[in-house]
Amino acid sequence: MANPPTSPPRSKTVPKSLPATAWAVLGLLSFGRDLTGYDLKKWADASLRFFYWSPAISQIYGELRRLESIGYVESWAAPQDELRNKRLYRITPLGRDALTTWVRDSPVEPPVLKHGVALRIWLGHLADPAALREIVAAHREYAVEMLAAVSEARRTAATNPDWTYPEVVERWGERYWAAERDLADAMLRDLDELDLT
């Protein structure tokens, strides 16, 4: 952790509700590290994307500015070398309170699922069976890759006592992607059966 921050207290009014992305970014900071926007993006790629999604880097910078403007984070320039400038962000007590309230009280949006593979199989009357099977098979590979990646993430989380909840979620993620793989297999069997009859 770096030295005491010195960001100007430019308080705007807090908007009634922030998008989930803002809470996700704030959440990344709630594990207590001082991080740059760039760091945040890397971390989102390595963990968030398995069960939520990883915002574009430009959006992360935007969210950080918004969060600072309402006092949920503070930042300071950290001249690492002589010339280069990077900006470190830290969650404020106000931000931590707001995030805690959000976790506890905000209504949980139903999970968003947009499954391009299912959409294409749903239109199976427009393709030949072999092409459909190929789509599902490719998706199976994808699920296996995700499973491997989330397992890797879980191993990393297991090294740090602060990350017990991320680890629980990554365990969930492993099961999720394993299920996705099995679902692909089951659909392949269903497609085979269709062709036989």
Partner DNA sequence: GGGAGCATGTAACGGGTTACATGATTGG
Partner DNA sequence: CCAATCATGTAACCCGTTACATGCTCCC
Q: Is 59 one of the binding residues for a copy of itself (CB under 8 A)?
A: no
Nearest distance, CB of residue 184 and a copy of itself, angstroms:
9
Interface residues for DNA in 60-89 (CB under 7 A)?
61-62, 64, 80-87
Distances (CA, A) of 21 to 53, 154, 164: 9, 22, 22
Binding partner of residue 27 among DNA, a copy of itself, none, CB cut-off 5 to 8 Å per kind: a copy of itself
**Which residue pairs from 176-183 have beta carbons closer than 8 angstroms and sit at least 24 positions apart in sequence?**
176/51, 177/50, 177/143, 177/144, 177/146, 177/147, 177/150, 178/143, 178/147, 180/139, 180/143, 180/146, 181/140, 181/143, 181/144, 181/147
Q: Is 55 one of the binding residues for DNA (CB under 7 A)?
A: yes
Interface residues for a copy of itself in 146-185 (CB under 8 A)?
162, 164-166, 168-169, 171-173, 175-176, 179-180, 182-183
Q: Is 24 one of the binding residues for a copy of itself (CB under 8 A)?
A: yes
DSSP at 52: S
Please list, residue by residue across 50-65, b when 16 or more beta carbons sit within 10 angstroms of its beta carbon and e when fewer do: bebebbeeebbbbbbe
Binding partner of residue 37 among a copy of itself, DNA, none, CB cut-off 5 to 8 Å per kind: DNA
Using alpha carbons, select from 3, 10, 1, 19 the residue that is nearest to residue 73.
Answer: 10
Q: Is 59 one of the binding residues for DNA (CB under 7 A)?
A: yes
Distances (CA, A) of 26 to 50, 61, 81, 147: 18, 12, 27, 26
Q: Is 131 one of the binding residues for a copy of itself (CB under 8 A)?
A: yes
Residues at the interface with DNA (CB under 7 A)? 18-21, 36-39, 42, 53-59, 61-62, 64, 80-87
Q: State the residues that interact with a copy of itself by CB under 8 A.
A: 20, 23-24, 27, 30-31, 47-48, 51-53, 96, 99-100, 103-104, 108-127, 131, 135, 138-139, 142, 162, 164-166, 168-169, 171-173, 175-176, 179-180, 182-183, 186-187, 190-191, 194
